Each structure stands twice: as C-alpha cells, then as structure tokens.
Amino acid sequence: MNLKNSPPFILDILPETFQHLTTVYSKHEDRINVLDENEYFRIFLDNLNKKCKQAIKLFKEGKEKMFDETSTYRRNLTKLSLVFSHMLSELKAIFPNGVFAADNFRITKSDAADFWKNAFGDKTIVPWRYFRQSLHQVHPISSGLEAMALKSTIDLTCNDYISNFEFDVFIRLFQPWGSLLKNWQILAVTHPGYVAFLTYDEVKARLFKYISKPGSYVFRLSCTRLGQWAIGYVTPDGNILQTIPQNKSLCQALLDGFREGFYRYPDGRNVNPDLTLAVTSMPEDHIRVTQEQYELYCEMGSTFQLCKICAENDKDIRIEPCGHLLCTPCLNAWQDTEGQGCPFCRAEIKGTEQVVVDPFDPKGVTLQRQNLKNLSACNLSNLLNEDKNSHNHANNNCLPIETVSKISLDRDSNLDENDNENCFEDPSSWVESLNTQSSALIIITVITSNLNNLFHLRPFHRENHHQQSPQSIVAQ
C-alpha cells in the first residue's frame, strides 16, 4: 500500500492504543467496575470499536483501490488514521500512566477552565448538543451551519461528544477566550490557507503544484502536537518546509511570515488576508506585584519582575498551565536546546502568554538592581518558589541554558520520546512479516477482538442528559 512511515502511521497508532488500554486495565484489574462506571472510558471504547469496524469495512470495500493514493478509499483511510491518532492522544491525557486524571487534567487557559467548570462541573466529557448550548450562552453561534462547521473543528475524535481535552486543544488553537469564535472564523472558516484533516505528507503533495511560486503556504493542526499549528510553505529555492510556530499565535506567525516573504500566497492564491486587526485585539495581561512579593525580593536584593534564569531581562512571558514566569529570550534558548517542559517544574508547556509585570513601588521610587549576577545559587533556588503568578508548584529546579544554534522544525515530532514497546510479542518482526495492507487489517481485527475480551465490552447506551435549555438556542 506504500503507507508513509510518518505521523499518523496506523501500524504504530493502533498497537500503541491497545498497549495503553492494557496499562489502564492493569491499574484497575482488581476494581474493573470503576472503569465500567467511568463515563469517558465507556464512550471511548464504544467509539474505538466503531472506528475499528469502520476501518475493516473500508478495507473490504476498497480492495485494490486502497493501493491508489489518490482514491477516495485511501483518503478516508488517512482521515481515519488521524482520528485514531487524536483518540490516542486524548486517552493518554485523560488516563496518564493508566490512571484516570479526573480533576488533575488542567485546561490551559484559566478563563476557559472557569467556563468548563461552571457549565459542566467535574465532567470529563459531555454530549455535543449540551456543549453547544452552553457555549452559545457565552459565545453566540449564529446559525445551524456555523454550528456544524464548529463541530467539525472541535470534535477531533468524531464521536458527537466533546471532552475537556478536545476543548483545551480548541482553546489553544483559537485563543484568546474573549474572541474565540471570531478567531476561529478568521482562521478556520474564511482563511484560504487552512486545510483540515491533512497530514504532513499530504501538505507536501498539495504544495508541490506551487513549487514554482515561492511564498505559497497552507496551515493545519499538528497531529503530533495537538493544540499547535503547523505551517507548510514553499521556499525561494523550491523546497517545501513545515514549521511549528513557537511562543506566538498563528495570526502573529502568519503576519511575521508575510513581512519576511515566507507566507504570501495561501494555497497558491494571490490574495492574502490581512490579520493585523486579529493580532492587535490581543492585549497583554498585566501582573501586579503584591507588597509581600516586593518585600521578599527586596530582602534578597532582587525584584519580582526580574527573570531568575538570566538575571538581566524582565519577565515578559507566562508558561501555561503551570504559570511560571521568565523572559522570552530564556524560553527560546531553553526550547532551542530541546528542553522538555517548563525549565522550572518540567510540566508540559501547553501554551504561553505575553505578560507585563507591573512593579510594586508605593513611594514612586524604582528599586535599583545591584549585584544581581552575584546572587548565590542557594538564593536563586529559594526565589523559584515565589516565581509564579498565583500558582503553587514544587520542584522548581532551574537548569542552566546553553546557547546553541536555532533549529527549524520542518516536520511534526512527538514531545515525549516514543515507546517502541507495544502489546504484541516481538512486534517489529511480526509486522514486517506481513504486507502493509494485511498488517493494518489484521491489527484492527485483533484489537477489536481483544477489546471485547479485555473489558467485556457490551453495547454502550448513550445517557440522556436532561438539561435545561438556554433561553436562546440556535436552529438545529
């Protein structure tokens, strides 16, 4: 079938999914009833079972057309592979290390997290209809067609439910919260450069027809870094590169790329939308230093607003969701060294936000910075516990940042190292002994069979949610 061994690769995704389900089972082996009562897990298994059957049907109906990379059957297989990939990412986030995260799963943006808690309480997943009604009360949805388009963007697992994981991904893509649907309309509805459910290889194939038109570009959701964008573009020397913008919104990245001549022709078209207003409508968040923080840092001979990594620049960026503050050059240098997670607490970096720290100065006198570079390592480590804005985190161990040349991300890569083990004995030799079409079909069939044996899967009955409808509901 000439399947590309690049994300999303179905021959890797399905065994890894089954391996994680096995881990979940091992953590609940003596209390399997807990899993049976878990609403999210029941919905996930039901959806996985349906998607596996859908894939089997696709192989049976497609037959020799599955070998044709331009056929509808092959395109549907690629989309299914993306859905399986999204499902695996969601499962790992909701059941990290096989244990249900519950309230420990944190929605990156605080205002979006408040909305979810107020609307759905401690639920991990809600029906699309219920989610749509609640969102409509805060961000009005103008029509049924708009609601359908919104669902196709946010429902990554295509199961008619919205999980807090999917909601978090959507928020990170189209932030800030105040202009959420406006940004979604600008980027995913009206922008000619947006391509949905396309893979790395498909983007390269799409841009190849514009190889003689440097500056042609498209953008898509990264399939390995959900919540981030991937931009593919044609370079002046006729190459096709793909990059993931770091520490800036997509609107800002597209504007910067336009000025630099990289992103000029969305999907080869001559008219490029002006996103200036979308960027200027995102004000920086101001952080006010409290008197307690001011006094503490005065005793240490420092200031709260000073970056504790370089001791030169003021903090101007907040890591989310952990909330640690530092300066942009230090964060860029840390990420250029391929540092994993926050440099202070190692928590996953799901997003960043530009901030301005307003110093506390009751007498109108600015504290002069003296001998900051002579601060001892012990003093710096003590400062780290106070180096956040309204967040409590432990284990704030700062690593020195080394200067290295900046790398360009030209394709998706996983944030975490891949675990090559899966649920099959000697998986590499087992898969290599089969042709790729048989491999995919057999893996799907085996997993579907084992799901029933492992979890005693029975038909899932959708729960009826009797919720009071909001006063104004858009048309169905």
- Reply yes or no on whether the pLDDT at 196 is more than 70: yes
Range of lowest pLDDT (81-90, 232-241, 253-262, 460-469)? 460-469
Q: What is the CATH number of the domain that holds 162?
A: 1.10.238.10
- Give the pLDDT score at 350: 83
Q: Once rounded to an integer, what is the mean pLDDT over residues 429-447?
A: 56
- Give the pLDDT score at 426: 41
**Mean confidence (pLDDT) of the chain:** 80
Q: Once rounded to an integer, what is the mean pLDDT over residues 375-389?
A: 47
- Give the pLDDT score at 416: 39
Residue 396 domain-assigned (yes or no): no
pLDDT band at 31 (very low <50, low <70, confident <90, very high): confident
The C-alpha atoms of residue 289 and residue 476 are separated, in whole angstroms, by 48
- Cα atoms in the Cβ-side hemisphere of radius 13 Å centred on 34: 12
- Give the pLDDT score at 400: 41
Q: Once rounded to an integer, what is the mean pLDDT over residues 241-259?
A: 91
pLDDT band at 450 (very low <50, low <70, confident <90, very high): low
Range of lowest pLDDT (35-44, 233-242, 274-283, 316-325)? 274-283
- Give the pLDDT score at 363: 60
78: tokens are 């690629």
- Give the pLDDT score at 447: 67
Q: How far is CA 405 from CA 241, 349, 402, in A?
A: 18, 21, 10
- Reply yes or no on whether the pLDDT at 368 is more than 80: no
- Give the pLDDT score at 280: 62
Same domain? For 184 and 212 the reply is no
Q: Once rounded to an integer, what is the mean pLDDT over residues 120-132?
A: 97
Residues 141-155: pLDDT tens digits? 989 999 999 999 999
The C-alpha atoms of residue 105 and residue 114 are separated, in whole angstroms, by 13
- Give the pLDDT score at 349: 85
Q: What is the CATH number of the domain that holds 222?
A: 3.30.505.10
Residue 249 domain-assigned (yes or no): yes
Residue 344 domain-assigned (yes or no): yes
pLDDT band at 302 (very low <50, low <70, confident <90, very high): confident
Of residues 338, 289, 292, 295, the one with CA closest to residue 315:
289
- Of 140 and 8, the structure prediction assigns the larger pLDDT to 140
- Give the pLDDT score at 391: 45
Same domain? For 320 and 269 the reply is no
Q: Once rounded to an integer, what is the mean pLDDT over residues 307-319?
A: 89
Q: Once rounded to an integer, what is the mean pLDDT over residues 316-339?
A: 87
Same domain? For 121 and 163 the reply is yes
- Reply yes or no on whether the pLDDT at 213 is more than 90: yes
Query: Which residues have CB under 8 Å from 132's CB, separation 6+?
Result: 141, 147, 150, 151, 474
18: tokens are 């089954």
Residue 290 domain-assigned (yes or no): yes
Q: End of a domain among 188, 207, 235?
A: 188
Residue 201, φ and ψ in degrees, nearest 5: -70, -35
Same domain? For 156 and 76 the reply is no
Q: Once rounded to an integer, what is the mean pLDDT over residues 162-180?
A: 94
- Give the pLDDT score at 305: 87
Q: End of a domain among 188, 219, 243?
A: 188
Reduced to 3 DSSP states, what percent helix, strand and coil does the chain have, rounded to the nearest 5?
45, 10, 45
Which residue range is the domain that position 119 belongs to? 110-188
Same domain? For 86 and 158 the reply is no
Q: Once rounded to an integer, what is the mean pLDDT over residues 281-310?
A: 81
- Reply yes or no on whether the pLDDT at 374 is more than 90: no
What's the total number of domains in the chain?
4
Residue 66 domain-assigned (yes or no): yes
Q: How far apart are the first and last CA of the chain?
A: 41
Q: End of a domain among 277, 308, 337?
A: 277
Q: Once rounded to an integer, what is the mean pLDDT over residues 428-452?
A: 57
- Give the pLDDT score at 441: 67
- Reply yes or no on whether the pLDDT at 316 is more than 60: yes
